[in-house]
A and B are shown apart, each in its own frame.
Chain A
């Protein structure tokens, strides 16, 4: 089924994900503040590219993000990712929020927020190591 995704921040993770989601037929909008970041996408990327400052609430409002059901937040700043998660949850009421955080402690700020999923590379690497080596936590 075709879904609508907003992807905030074209990190390696953000751009790779955007490409996959768009190629498989989803409706994808990518937002980044640097024009050069869009070069990470293939030239025939079927989604919509939007250049703008994610810290500017007016810009976010005008981006149409309020109508999406899923958003992936993956800028290179943890603090910005946290703030964007709060905005998407409390201001835009988006039901599925996926946020990438490098640090391990900040899930603290999403307590009791239903529909917010934290993707933590540290935790994932740790779990993967434990699973392939059979070591215990």
Chain B
């Protein structure tokens, strides 16, 4: 394995320690800051080339040809982008990982041909999104002094009950799909009704089983 790591301080240091665990890895380290280069070199007892990884002659001097992995970690998205493009198009790097400070650049750089773009802000956003969308629950309404809840759920293609007929789903006894809104139609479900992605389900249940029904809809587990 030939791995090239450009710029970065703590991120580079961390990756070097990780990659070092595998004895068959050849590491090439490039950093444009002499102080950072010294730090990484002392910390890991490794040679660090001081230079600008967006310059063709720097990459050429380090023989990065055909490397398995090229990682660009500087704080400038533009510099990382150019370094990765050079590594890929001129030196035939097999995989490039580009760090992006601006999360908007993740999709852009992928579109422009970089294999993997990592942005900590983007990842943070995705984590938050996945935490708050543990369910597809859109709205929930309690009626009859909170003895009954009506949940509005939008079906995703990955949901367990999606693309199945109602009669083939062993829906929990504590709730029932009372109505399906499939734009522009309102469907009163019967046994042969097939659920498709984008369907908005109105599910009636008692408040206690609301979460377990959501879980059943997503992955088919029934705790009742």
Residues of A within 8 A of B (CB): 55-58, 77-80, 82-83, 86-87, 90-91, 103, 105-106, 108-109, 111
Contact = CB atoms under 8 A, between A and B. Distances in A.
A59 to B, nearest CB: 10
A6 B127 CA distance: 39
Interface in B91-114: 102, 104-105, 108, 111-112
A82 B112 contact: no
Interface of B: 54-57, 76-79, 81-82, 85-86, 89-90, 102, 104-105, 108, 111-112
A75 to B, nearest CB: 10
A10 B81 CA distance: 23
Contacts of A80: 78
Given A87-B112, A90-B112, A108-B56, A57 B104 contact: yes
Contacts of B82: 79, 82-83, 106, 109
B89 A90 contact: no
Contacts of B89: 108-109, 111
B85 A103 contact: no
Contact of A86 (B55, B56, B85, B86): B85
21 contacts: A55-B77, A56-B104, A57-B105, A57-B108, A77-B78, A78-B54, A79-B76, A79-B78, A79-B81, A80-B78, A82-B82, A82-B85, A86-B112, A87-B112, A105-B57, A106-B56, A108-B56, A109-B85, A109-B86, A109-B89, A109-B90
B102 A87 contact: no
B116 to A, nearest CB: 17
Nearest to A109: B85
B108 A105 contact: no
A20 B167 CA distance: 74
Nearest to B57: A105
Given A103-B55, A105-B56, 15 more contacts: A55-B77, A55-B78, A55-B102, A56-B102, A56-B104, A57-B104, A79-B82, A80-B78, A82-B85, A83-B78, A90-B112, A91-B108, A91-B111, A105-B57, A109-B85
A108 B79 contact: no
B58 to A, nearest CB: 10
A131 B18 CA distance: 56
Which of A79, A103, A109 has the most chain B CB atoms closer than 10 A to its own CB? A79
